[in-house]
Amino acid sequence: MYLELIRQMQQQGAYYASLAHIDAFRLRFGNPPELQRLQADALRETGQTEAASKAYQSLLHGNQAAAAWHGLGLIAATGKQYDLAEQDLQQAVQLDPINVAFLSDLGYARLSAGRIEEAREPLAKAAELEPANVKVISNLALWVLLQGDDAQADAIMQRANLPQATRDAIQKLAVQLRPTAATRSVTDAPTASVKQATPHSALPQTASIPGMLLDRGTTPASSEVRP
């Protein structure tokens, strides 16, 4: 019951209060791994990055390992170390392959690193696993924008009833990330003397992914949502 109270505090953004209750819990009941992970999350959310990183590192070999890798990935992403973030988040996904938050954050890290095509798989998985998740929808719309399909991205955002502020934020992110994507595309391009194979993927093409999403109901989004 007490751990659930701490979880609820963090869901509501009361991270400092949760830290106080974590200390109180530890005095009464000990220091189980989940409590350590909740403390690491609270430290990260309150800007205590070094302490959070150490706490996550201590959890990489137990039952909180997936969440710990996720936390390390978020720290790396906050520091704009997107390649490192991708590596850490990939570890989290390998340990918990149907966790929608992990998949969505991995896709976003790849978008931020300019790996647009590689972002497709985790974002498509997240969208099919949880098509009403506003963060997933936002990241999917961002991916479609970076593919150059503004009409499909707009259709996704309209059907999901994303507020205008969120749509504007997604559009702004797309503008910010396009130069990174273009640079990565040039860097990864094959030389002219090498015959490039036709790309193949078992995943649906750009136009298909929004279709799967739009065929399913979505819940209205809060104006507080950010992609």
pLDDT per residue as tens digits for the range 136-146:
999 999 999 99
| pLDDT single digits (tens) 150-186 | 999 999 999 999 999 999 999 999 999 988 776 665 5
Contact 156, 210 (CB under 8 A): yes
Is the pLDDT confidence value at 216 over 50? no
34 pLDDT tier (thresholds 50, 70, 90): very high
Please choose, from the candidates 76, 127, 104, 108, the residue with its C-alpha nearest in 3D space to the C-alpha of residue 173: 108
pLDDT at residue 95 in the model: 98
The one-letter code for the residue type at 221 is: A
Q: What is the DSSP string of 100-135?
A: HHHHHHHHHHHHHTT-HHHHHHHHHHHHHH-TT-HH
pTM of the model: 0.79
Greater pLDDT, 17 or 204: 17
pLDDT beyond 80 at 225: no
Mean pLDDT estimate for the chain = 85
Asked whether the predicted pLDDT for residue 36 surpasses 50, the reply is yes
Tens-place pLDDT, residues 178-215: 887 766 655 555 444 333 333 333 333 333 443 333 33
Q: Is the predicted pLDDT of residue 130 greater than 70, yes or no?
A: yes
